[in-house]
A and B are shown apart, each in its own frame.
Chain A
């Protein structure tokens, strides 16, 4: 299994929909995870941190499933402005501190 895997999408959803992305990881010792949002031709911006069972911020919920080794990002009541690429980040394995970024999942929210 690759260190971090994401479904590239695109996920094409109407406004108001609920959408969820998963990110699987191979390092079972990982303790902390992050979701970043990246708009086209812009820098990644931190969206959420996931340190334990999960995290919620408004319409966004991140959950961690340690048994199956994946994290998820749920977006409720999607807005047009949510259209972006969502990157998950997992600390690297083998004691390395090099983070591993997923390739990202593309979300397109349409009217």
Chain B
């Protein structure tokens, strides 16, 4: 299995609070991605990174920001969490840019009350 960890694995937070999710990889892959998965939807890309300090928006980026200061870490921040951001968040990595095989972390289950 690819060396990808996510923290925290579960989080419950209140509306309006900031939340940061962390993705850490040990594969030295250049590309990293944040997705959310909700019932009735496929995985949807939030943001992705194609190198240190290089990021771009995905399909559902409103309300989210990201940062990548090191190859191995990709942070996802919800500046002011809303109930609509209750979801399961997956980080993924790939050696090459899309379209290519991606490897996913175990996910973070976030509940915003």
Give the interface size class of chain A.
Answer: 20 to 34
Q: How many residues of B contact A (CB 8 A)?
A: 20
B70 in the interface, Cβ–Cβ < 8 Å? no
Residue B74 interfacial (CB < 8 Å): no
B62 within 8 A of A: no
The answer to whether A9 has its CB under 8 Å from any CB of chain B is: no
B41 touches A103 (CB 8 A): yes
Convert A75-106 into 0s and 1s, putting 1 for each residue whose CB lies closer than 8 angstroms to a CB of B.
Answer: 00000000000010101000001111111100
Is A69 interfacial (CB-CB < 8 Å)? no
Please count the residue pairs between chain A and chain B whose beta carbons lie under 8 angstroms apart in the complex: 47
Contact between B42 and A87 (Cβ–Cβ < 8 Å)?
A: yes
Q: Is the interface of B mostly helix, strand, loop or mixed?
A: loop
Q: Is the CB of B104 closer than 8 A to any CB of chain A?
A: yes
A91 / chain B contacts, CB cutoff of 8 Å: 98-99
A97 partner, pick from B40, B43, B44, B98, beta carbons under 8 A? B98
The chain A residues found within 8 Å of chain B, CB to CB, are 4, 30-32, 34, 42-46, 49, 87, 89, 91, 97-104
B interface with A by C-beta (< 8 Å): 40-45, 58-59, 90, 97-107
